[in-house]
Structure 1
Amino acid sequence: MSIPGSNVSIEGHAIVSVDGMIAAADGSMPPALRNEADWRIFQAALDAAVLVVLGRLGHERHPNPGRRRLVLTRSVQAFERDPGDSLTQLWNPAGIGIADVLARLGIEQGTVAVTGGTGTFDLFLPLYDRFVLSEVRELELPDGIACFSKGHPRLVLPGAGLEARDMELIDRGVLQTQWVRP
């Protein structure tokens, strides 16, 4: 339990290039970074989550009506409902902490899935109980957008206290590692 006083688990999800990038320099996700096996695993995790947390740009690029979402944005002072989607809340972490947000949403247990981008992944770094990292082993994205601002996830996650477990080749050239807090 990474959030004191709750039974909520925080779980990150990312697919990255071999150099640790989640997107090309222009913010787009190149077709070579998409993988069907990873997508199925990712969607199943989001279906099981009580809440999906992501940044504003990801929310705008990948609308997903039907899932409960928490969108990080500076466009609100603290916390308010998205006028365009009743299942989506807009959240400015500078105005209210995640424990208070979960309390307002009535979330006392379950898994919160964090899906990026960089600022969102960075914000939750000290809270992850688990991080599911898929790496496309033969793809480099020079000047791309990093998963974490501090470096490659394989270096950042251990620094945050997570350990690599259950490494599996989920598809040709795609390695998935479960990083867990011991």
Structure 2
Amino acid sequence: MSIPGSTVIIEGHAIVSVDGMIAAADGTMPPALRNEADWRIFQAALDAAALVVLGRLGHERHPNPGRRRLVLTRSVAALEADPGDALTQLWNPAGIAIADVLRQLGIAEGTVAITGGTGTFDLFLPLLDRFVLSEVRDLTLPDGIACFTKGHPRLVLPGAGLEARDMELIDRGVVQTQWVRP
């Protein structure tokens, strides 16, 4: 991401079903979509991140005191502290640009980890430097919630200028691909 004087890396993370879904139709993550090998890799990436960005629903469903978070929401005009978590800021992208948010938060280097949901992934798609995509190969989620509104990540990420690299089997039936901007 190009912020003058910045070395920030924007990195997305998702585990999806074979049909590109990040959740079931009701918004929950079915047990078959959760994988321990992926979870360990994901948690290590979040621990190393300067900031974790996610949508309001994900933040409410998975509180995580201890990590610096930026939560997308229309409930604020621009950027405000979360009264319930000193490490969390509430952000309305319509009120302030992400570059300005990062400046205000003092983040000029490191990784900004984007963890979803769909609207968050869509918003950051043109800014992604990397995307870590795990796919559960034997699971479909008909009528589930898509990772990207434009389709399966394997189709959307190349359209945004990212290339697949370092595909590996991280567990039985779970393939992880590192997508990077060349």
TM range (shorter): over 0.9
2:54, 2:36 → 1: CA distance?
Answer: 21
Matched letter for residue 138 of structure 2: E
Give the 4+ runs in structure 1 shifted more than 3 A: none
- Determine the structure 2 residue equivalent to 1:95: 95
Deviations 1:108-139 (A, max 9, x none): 10000000000000000001000000000000
What's the TM-score once normalised by structure 1's chain length? 0.99
- Residue 113 (str. 1) matches residue 113 (str. 2): yes
- Residue 155 (str. 1) matches residue 151 (str. 2): no
Q: Residue 120 of structure 2: SS of its match in structure 1?
A: helix
Cα deviation for residue 147 of structure 1 reads 0.1
- Determine the structure 2 residue equivalent to 1:141: 141
- Residue 4 (str. 1) matches residue 6 (str. 2): no
- Structure 2's unaligned 5+ residue stretches are none
- Determine the structure 2 residue equivalent to 1:129: 129
- Residue 104 (str. 1) matches residue 104 (str. 2): yes
Cα deviation for residue 61 of structure 1 reads 0.2
2:79, 2:108 → 1: CA distance?
Answer: 18
Matched letter for residue 14 of structure 1: A
Deviations 1:133-179 (A, max 9, x none): 00000000000000000000000000000000000000000000000
1:106, 1:74 → 2: CA distance?
Answer: 23
Deviations 1:22-54 (A, max 9, x none): 000000000000000000000000000000000
The share of aligned pairs that are identical, in percent, is: 87
Matched letter for residue 51 of structure 1: L
Q: Residue 99 of structure 1: SS of its match in structure 2?
A: helix
What's the TM-score once normalised by structure 2's chain length? 0.99
1:108, 1:161 → 2: CA distance?
Answer: 23
- Determine the structure 2 residue equivalent to 1:172: 172
Q: Residue 87 of structure 1: SS of its match in structure 2?
A: strand
1:59, 1:143 → 2: CA distance?
Answer: 23
Q: How does 1:71-90 map to 2 (within 5 A)?
A: 71-90=71-90
- Determine the structure 2 residue equivalent to 1:43: 43
Q: Residue 138 of structure 2: SS of its match in structure 1?
A: coil
1:178, 1:3 → 2: CA distance?
Answer: 21
1:67, 1:120 → 2: CA distance?
Answer: 18
Deviations 1:30-84 (A, max 9, x none): 0000000000000000000000000000000000000000000000000000000
- Structure 1's unaligned 5+ residue stretches are none
Cα deviation for residue 4 of structure 1 reads 2.8
Aligned length: 181
